Structure 1
Amino acid sequence: MNVDALINWVEAWAPPEWQESWDNCGWQIEPGILSQPAGVLVCLTPTLTVMTEAIRLKEEGAPVNLIFAHHPLIFSPLKSVATGNPVGDMVRLSITHGIGVYSAHTNFDQVADGTADVLSQLLELKDSMPVVPTQDGLGYGRVGDLPGPQTLDELLAMIQTKLNPPNLIHSPMADLQQTIDRVAVLGGSGASFMPAVAKTGAQAYLTSDCKFHQFQEGRDRNLILIDAGHYATERPACAKLVKKFRQQGVVWTQLSSNDEDFRQFW
């Protein structure tokens, strides 16, 4: 499968026009690789570390020509592209080594096998549905019933096992022995969706990047807020992308081993 055919498939599955107005999905850098067979390194965030990994793999003989990322490389309009600037260095290395960068962000959040849907699958939620529908059967977040009632302590242990975050944060008022039946999930920064989550009947909400006052809001909405971190809640969907690309006929694709969490707990 050539790069252009792969991107056409991606954009039929997760159309860029579904992105939010502030977002920047699609090609970040396209160095003339569309007609080449796709060799894809999948990552959460397109950083210089990931680009260095792609270059090393290419020098070792892997046919890498595309970094497929969830987060965009370019958010704000560029006023210059210069050496010493991280984006400028990415552009220089991309063109020099023939490795493109493509991002699927808020469009990927909404779809089947997207960031929220994969979290729902990992927790084995039954009758899962979007928290905020945007398309027929698609949308932001997922909410559903656990396979069977669990204590909050058991739910937290399962999340720790499935996502392996460096740290789990949860609402302090929560009784660890209380029974949880219904859970909402949204990968990445999802605290702003709490008003919608509260209407779904979910008792617990797994997301990330929650602030002090958002935990207070969770308490006031009778929601147990569980923050597993941005990386841990979105990285599983990147791993699922590798499997989907292989199913589409991409001969060489793998998950980046140098993708970074950017957080360390001491």
Structure 2
Amino acid sequence: MLAKGQTVIQYMEQLAPKQVAEPEDRIGLQLGTLQKEIKTVLVALDVNEEVVDEAIELGAELIIAHHAIIYRPLKQLVTDSPMGKVYEKLIKHDIAVYVSHTNLDVTEGGMNDWMAKALGIVDTSPIHDLHNEQLSKLVVFVPKSHHQEVLDAVLGAGAGWIGNYSHCSFNIEGFGTYMPREGSDPYIGSHGKIERADEVRIETIVPHGVRHKVIQAMLKAHPYEEVAYDLYPMDLKGRSLGLGRVGKLKEQMTLAELVEVVKEKLDVPHVRVVGEPDRVIRKAAVIGGSGGRYMSKALFRGADVLVTGDIDYHTAQDALAAGLTMIDPGHNAEKIMKAKVAEWLQQKFQDGKYETQAVPSQINTEPFRFM
């Protein structure tokens, strides 16, 4: 059985929800249709003609990319222009393109977490906050016989997180009353008679992103035909989601030593460096893509170094004057996402018993050559 295009994207949006992207970011389906079965998904950093040719050779029906192929509104579609040729090939071979950009950067377990983990940065937090997760309070009344089953279901679906503590809940025993009416099918009680049932009131915290999953898990585990529950919005905010990551290095090292780690772990042959090679680095910040504009925020958060691409001359001068070292591995260092996204999707396909395959692109889309 093959996964439908919509199913593939549902999996992708579990990893990188669209609502956490920066405003006006060009994400989502950019070309083609998802109303078809998908045998092969090609995961790419960029979509150029070589990547499209690779997709054609693989027989891929869908490309999931990090960088948009349509960033500005198209005024015309001329098929003998460089990008026009790309669009034409995609359309002729019925290959859809879906983009996951800043939502993949921001999300937990996404781009910037992959880069931070690769470089040995731990106890991380965002460099630049974009979202504070909305929380709700779930209250549900459960017969004592099914208390543990329902509690395990809602906590297993992602409820009950407070900071670094999981499985947080409060449980109160009491009794509930109800009268089953004509047409009902009560788990306990008889039609026309008031029933008094020993129940447990469960209270727990539900992050907005898993709200529907938690409710569905609760309803599935609950024995009652009509489940009594409430979901209250809370002023209390949850975890912060944002761009970049800053944290301690597992082991302090010199800037020169960290440069070698960056080259190895991000698979780049050369980097540009701002700062003295023997500077000791204890706290590091990383942000995929072009993160030079967050230099001041990294410095404010106590970073000794910022690892990011596309650093311009004046930003480098400002960092040097402020005492912040910088390592620029280039924008293409984000290619770490190809294997990671493909691995994520492949696991989801296996869990869903789909024969669909997710494949990381082997095309090097780095436009620069070092001479």
Which amino acid letter does the alignment assign opposite residue 240 of structure 1? K
The match for 2:96 is 100
Query: 2:240 and 2:72 mapped to 1: Cα distance?
Result: 32
TM-score by length of 1: 0.91
Deviation at 1:38, TM superposition (A): 4.7
Any residues of structure 2 matched to 1:1-266 within 5 Å, and which?
Answer: 1-30=3-32, 32-58=33-59, 64-135=60-131, 136-171=239-274, 174-232=275-333, 234-249=334-349, 251-266=356-371
Which amino acid letter does the alignment assign opposite residue 83 of structure 1? T
Q: Aligned Cα RMSD in Å?
A: 1.6
Greater fraction of residues in strand: 2
Which consecutive aligned stretches of 4+ in structure 1 deviate over 6 angstroms post-superposition? Answer: none
Deviation at 1:36, TM superposition (A): 0.6
Task: State whether residues 206 and 228 of structure 1, in contact with CA within 8 Å, keep that contact through their aligned partners in structure 2.
Answer: yes
TM-score by length of 2: 0.66
Which amino acid letter does the alignment assign opposite residue 260 of structure 1? T
Q: Identity, % of aligned pairs?
A: 32
Deviation at 1:2, TM superposition (A): 2.0
Query: 1:209 and 1:74 mapped to 2: Cα distance?
Result: 21
Task: State whether residues 246 and 285 of structure 2, in contact with CA within 8 Å, keep that contact through their aligned partners in structure 1.
Answer: yes
Query: 1:65 and 1:210 mapped to 2: Cα distance?
Result: 36
Determine helix, strand or coil for the equivalent of 2:303.
Answer: coil
Task: State whether residues 310 and 330 of structure 2, in contact with CA within 8 Å, keep that contact through their aligned partners in structure 1.
Answer: yes
Which amino acid letter does the alignment assign opposite residue 247 of structure 2? G
**Unaligned 5+ runs, structure 2:** 132-238
Which amino acid letter does the alignment assign opposite residue 155 of structure 1? L
**Unaligned 5+ runs, structure 1:** 59-63
Deviation at 1:8, TM superposition (A): 1.9
Determine helix, strand or coil for the equivalent of 2:68.
Answer: coil
Which amino acid letter does the alignment assign opposite residue 346 of structure 2? R
Query: 1:246 and 1:158 mapped to 2: Cα distance?
Result: 28
Task: State whether residues 113 and 240 of structure 1, in contact with CA within 8 Å, keep that contact through their aligned partners in structure 2.
Answer: no
Task: State whether residues 11 and 345 of structure 2, in contact with CA within 8 Å, keep that contact through their aligned partners in structure 1.
Answer: no
| Length, aligned pairs only | 257
Query: 1:113 and 1:24 mapped to 2: Cα distance?
Result: 21
Query: 1:127 and 1:244 mapped to 2: Cα distance?
Result: 23
